[in-house]
Amino acid sequence: MSKTVEIKPTTRHEGHTNLVLTIDDEGIVESGAYHSVTPVRGFEKFLYGKVAEFAPIAVSRFCGICPTAHSTSSVEALERACGMEPAKDGLILRELTAIGNKMHSHPLHQFLIAPDYVPKDEYADVVKRIQEMRKIGQYFVDTIGGEAIHPPNIKIGGMAKNITPEAKEKLIARAKNYLELAAVQCDYMMNLFNERKLNDGTEIPETLGYHDYPLLATSLTYGDISKFDYSQAAEYSPFEHYPKEVALQACTNIPKYKGSLVEVGPRARMVTFKDFKETKGALGIHKARALEMAHYAERALELLDELNTNGAPYCTDPIVGDGETVGVGALEAARGHNVHAAVVGKDGRIVEYSAIVATTWNIPIIGEATVGHHYKFAEHVVRAYDPCVSCATHMIAKDYDGNTVDEKLFK
């Protein structure tokens, strides 16, 4: 006889996600649905009629975690809607800011999973290294983006400011430092993941989180719109995907690409661009994320080498569209393929705006990926995806929590 387990995250806010699982007598998950229950988004509608320049500022407030990612996808979409050619050095600076954001985000995720994996006596050293890495990531965002949280320099046409040659030298030194820290941190985490054990000794099933859906990534470190056909992306109502009782609560649409659900994020990027062998599962995502950190620092060094600090950071083309052209911006954010699409009118105002943020792609996959293993592992599948449902639905925070399995409800 099947039972239902509902893992409800604890949260200070109204908004959060639920994981609804049906399990058999042994506790093995037979079906899983992971869904956001934050208030329905419709977030982009308020942008209609606003001047285009307001969009990157506003979308940066979608969420407290991904301001840089959303501003970046937004300006990319708006530039294409307006047929603008952004300044070359501006694009370099923009990619560096986005990389800084990921250099901060990935280690932070390792801090969040540390209580699951890192032995207690090693915890302090690991956290110290993670903090060092986060500070370097934030040094990039602050120095190039212009401010720590909502980088004001990210603008349509490029970046508002170039950096000084001195700042460039400092960034190079810090990227090299990051590379050293990332090598140590990556080795350390890879050893833990290869052991396939939680720090309480529980063995993690080898196939935990396996699924057969395709992966979607357009670039290892930034975003390449030529590898994404927006006309092949479609969003479906939750009622077309979840059982009715779950759909009634679910608050994100279900996006598909070329007719299929897709996984986005570190594993998708590493498999697509780095021939990453460990192709599946929760631990595969963790490993891919650990490996990516060094790639970010390497790419940052390449970009800094290319950067002309005397180059114009932005182009001065007028920010006007034709009222029809759909401009699409796709950034590989920390959590994956983050798509914004915009139409700008001849008056420079927004006619249409839409976003499919990274975690939205992964939400329907996460529930299904819990199937086949004991429900006690389900939260580890969720956590591997580092879901950020706050921006997938709304800025009201969603969270998940290591201790909530104790609050499971049997119906």
Q: Which residues bind another protein (CB under 8 A)?
A: 10-13, 38-40, 43, 46, 57-58, 60-61, 63-65, 67, 104, 108-109, 111-112, 131, 134-135, 138-139, 141-143, 147-150, 152, 386, 388-390, 394-403
Identity of the residue, 63 or 350, whose beta carbon is nearer to another protein in the bound complex: 63
Identify residue 164 by its one-letter amino acid code. T
Identity of the residue, 141 or 378, whose beta carbon is nearer to another protein in the bound complex: 141
Please give the backbone phi and psi of residue 375, each rounded to the nearest 5 degrees, phi first: -65, -20
> Residue 142 CB, nearest distance to another protein (Å)?
4
Identity of the residue, 79 or 386, whose beta carbon is nearer to another protein in the bound complex: 386
> Residue 125 CB, nearest distance to another protein (Å)?
14
CA 94 – CA 193 distance, rounded (Å): 33
> Residue 309 CB, nearest distance to another protein (Å)?
18
> Residue 64 CB, nearest distance to another protein (Å)?
4
Identity of the residue, 66 or 87, whose beta carbon is nearer to another protein in the bound complex: 66
Please answer whether residues 27 and 376 qualify as being in contact, where contact means their C-beta atoms are separated by less than 8 angstroms.
Answer: yes
Residue 83 has a CB neighbour count (10 Å cut-off) of: 13
DSSP code for 22: E
Identity of the residue, 112 or 172, whose beta carbon is nearer to another protein in the bound complex: 112
Residue 232 has a CB neighbour count (10 Å cut-off) of: 10
What Å distances lie between residue 349 and 315, 323, 327, CA to CA? 19, 9, 14
Identity of the residue, 128 or 376, whose beta carbon is nearer to another protein in the bound complex: 128
> Residue 402 CB, nearest distance to another protein (Å)?
8
Q: Which residue has the tokens 């429900």?
A: 375
Identity of the residue, 38 or 221, whose beta carbon is nearer to another protein in the bound complex: 38
Contacts of residue 8, Cβ cutoff 8 Å, sequence gap at least 6: 16, 18, 404, 407, 409
SS (H, E, C) 209-267: CCCCCCECCCCCCCCCHHHCCHHHEEEECHHHCCCHHHHCCCCCCEEEECCECCECCHH
> Residue 23 CB, nearest distance to another protein (Å)?
25
Identify residue 93 by its one-letter amino acid code. L
> Residue 178 CB, nearest distance to another protein (Å)?
13
CA 47 – CA 310 distance, rounded (Å): 34
Identity of the residue, 228 or 296, whose beta carbon is nearer to another protein in the bound complex: 296
> Residue 151 CB, nearest distance to another protein (Å)?
10
What Å distances lie between residue 332 and 123, 167, 216, 341, 390, CA to CA? 30, 25, 10, 15, 18
